[in-house]
């Protein structure tokens, strides 16, 4: 059974058909890469899936539950199951909150009963899980590098124990040397925590690095969906071929190796 089943989803802003009839299935534990040029509707699709932006039409069934049928209370509870990671960790983290207070607050959305040492231990474990030293938990976002800040944002997304992660251009703002470290962290988390992930990028090479399957989006529609290896090495749609000729931002040899193995 698919974990997420999306059928003919539309999100329009007046005449702008940002999401214009998208259908796909996502299996539990799968990483779906979503790629397409700026303005094609990737972020609107993710915000619609997150229930942050109401859809205009279509359906979305998560784990057997149709989201349209949920009461606002149930929706709030179920929303903890999916979390987002954004492009700019600096903008998405509160500059006046320490790492501890940011992560503690996120932990308590799911487990409000935690406090004191137990909560501190939980925050430390989350930081460690994301490759950070818990000794830094009393520091503020500006005291970290961009890569470390993205690790904090990832830890915050994990804190409510989500099942689905949507990562919207999570490495686009990072130095090329840091990008693969963050991609590897995301891959490990999906494997270890049995997460399902939608990974968004305008860069097909970045998407190919992680994804099991890739969806190519253009003008609010999916023009091609397939196994990562097939879409990357034998694209069917002219638009996908066009995306492939764009300059890659990470080591494509490593991707070719991974896809071949």
Ligand X SMILES: Nc1ncnc2c1ncn2[C@@H]1O[C@H](COP(=O)(O)OP(=O)(O)OP(=O)(O)O)[C@@H](O)[C@H]1O
Using CB under 6 A as the binding rule, whether residue 16 contacts ligand X is answered as yes
Angle (CA) 100 103 104, round 5°: 75
Binding mask 189-208 for ligand X (x = CB under 6 A): -------------x------
Report the candidate in 175, 231, 194 with the shortest Cα–Cα distance to residue 33. Answer: 231
| 149 contacts ligand X (rule: CB under 6 A) | no
CA distance 220 to 76: 27
14: left (phi over 0), alpha (psi -120 to 50) or beta: left
Rounded to a whole number of angstroms, the minimum distance from the CB of residue 52 to ligand X is 10
Q: Bridge-partner residues for 25, per DSSP?
A: 5
DSSP three-state, residue 63:
coil
Query: Which structure tokens are listed for 79?
Result: 């929303």
Residue 198 beta carbon to ligand X: minimum distance, rounded to whole angstroms: 12
Report if residue 13 touches ligand X, rule: CB under 6 A: yes
DSSP H or E run through 176: helix 176-193
Tell me the helix, strand and coil percentages in the chain, rounded to 5.
45, 25, 30
List contacts with Mg ion (CB under 5 A): 43
Q: Which does 18 bind (CB under 5 to 8 A by kind): ligand X, Mg ion, none?
A: ligand X
Using the minimum distance from each CB to ligand X, give the nearer residue, 53 or 109: 53
Contact partner at residue 41 from ligand X, Mg ion, none, CB < 5 to 8 Å by partner kind: ligand X
Per-residue contact flags (x/-) with ligand X for residues 25 to 64, judged by CB under 6 A: -----------x-xxxxxxx--------------------
Q: How far is the CB of 199 from Mg ion (least distance, A)?
A: 13
How would you classify residue 214: left for phi > 0, otherwise alpha for psi between -120 and 50, otherwise beta? Answer: beta
* Residue 147 C-beta: closest distance to Mg ion, Å: 21
Q: What is the DSSP string of 5-55?
A: EEEEEEEEETTEEEEEEEEEEE-TT-EEEEE--TTSSHHHHHHHHTTSS--
174 contacts ligand X (rule: CB under 6 A): no
Whole-angstrom distance, CA of residue 231 vs CA of residue 240: 8
- Among ligand X, Mg ion, none, the one that 40 touches (CB under a kind-dependent 5 to 8 A) is ligand X
Least separation in angstroms between residue 173's CB and Mg ion is 12
- Contacting ligand X (CB under 6 A), which of 4, 6, 18, 214? 18
CB of residue 46 to Mg ion, shortest distance in Å: 8
For ligand X (CB under 6 A), the number of binding residues is 12
What does the binding site for ligand X look like in residue numbers (CB under 6 A)? 13, 16, 18, 36, 38-44, 202
């Amino acid at each position: 059974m698919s974990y997420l089943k999306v059928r003919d989803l539309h999100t329009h802003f007046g005449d702008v058909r940002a999401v214009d009839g998208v259908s796909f299935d996502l299996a539990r534990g799968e990483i779906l890469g979503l790629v397409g040029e700026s303005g094609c509707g990737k972020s609107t699709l993710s915000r619609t899936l997150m229930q942050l932006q109401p859809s205009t039409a279509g359906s979305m069934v998560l784990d057997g539950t149709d989201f349209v049928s949920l009461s606002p209370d149930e929706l709030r509870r179920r929303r903890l199951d999916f979390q987002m990671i954004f492009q700019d960790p600096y903008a998405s983290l509160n500059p006046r909150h320490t790492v501890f207070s940011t992560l503690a607050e996120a932990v308590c959305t799911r487990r409000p009963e935690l406090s004191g040492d137990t909560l501190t231990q939980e925050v430390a474990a989350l930081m460690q899980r994301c490759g950070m030293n818990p000794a830094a938990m009393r520091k503020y976002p500006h005291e970290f590098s961009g890569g470390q800040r993205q690790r904090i944002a990832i830890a915050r997304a994990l804190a409510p124990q989500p099942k689905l992660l949507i990562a919207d251009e999570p490495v686009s703002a990072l130095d090329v040397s840091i990008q693969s470290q963050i991609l590897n962290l995301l891959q490990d988390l999906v494997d270890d925590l049995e997460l399902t992930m939608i990974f968004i990028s305008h860069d097909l090479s970045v998407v190919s690095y992680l994804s099991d399957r890739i969806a190519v989006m253009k003008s609010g529609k999916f023009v091609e969906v397939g196994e990562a290896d097939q879409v990357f090495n034998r694209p069917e749609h002219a638009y996908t071929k066009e995306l492939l000729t764009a300059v890659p931002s990470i080591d494509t040899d490593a991707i070719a190796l991974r896809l071949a193995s």
